[in-house]
Amino acid sequence: MSDHVSETEAASMIRDELPVGIVAEKRRIDHPWQEFKWIPVAVVPGAGKHSGWVKTGEGEGYEQFLIGTLTVEIFRKETEAYKVNLSSKRPSVYVVLRMAEEIEDPEIRAVFATVSPYEAQDYLDTGDDIVEQVPMPDGMAAWLQNFIDQHHVDEPFKKRKRKDFKQEAPKFGKVLHPIEQRFYGRNPRDLVEEGGE
């Protein structure tokens, strides 16, 4: 290990990754301005790189395609988020899709996949992307649980000590109203001597 890397930094760099194929569904919807809706519906752990889309299924009003492969990365410092995911009723992979920006682009593309609900929230906040939970396959859940078992460290809870406002002087030379004085433990009569009313 390099002399320039602390043990804490080294621990935070512990990671693993898994390629996953992204299956998206194009579903016909009843909407005046939009004919179809795209949503991610599944991931395929261990999928290799491929060129072009592969149709994986179809039915009345929908078609499904394998639209690409993404790498799900996991990190030691994020194990708490992974535990939250696996302890939920429906462990999920969060998949982010983005609509085409240029005419020559495919209608939709997969841009990100994660097993951290906190990372997924960052994409939900923008409102520009399609972010959906898809069921996490059992093999992927086992891979994630194994990583947690090896690397998770419970952080001790540190309660913040509250400031005692009675020890603080009023800021910026402000003369406080008698009612405000009770928060600072001063006698309201002191205000008169300082020029208060």
Residues 6+ apart with CB under 8 A from 96: 110, 111, 112, 113, 120, 123, 129, 130, 131
| Whole-prediction pTM | 0.71
Q: What is the mean pLDDT of the chain?
A: 82
110-128 pLDDT per residue, tens: 999 999 999 998 888 777 8
The residue among 49 and 89 whose pLDDT is bigger is 89
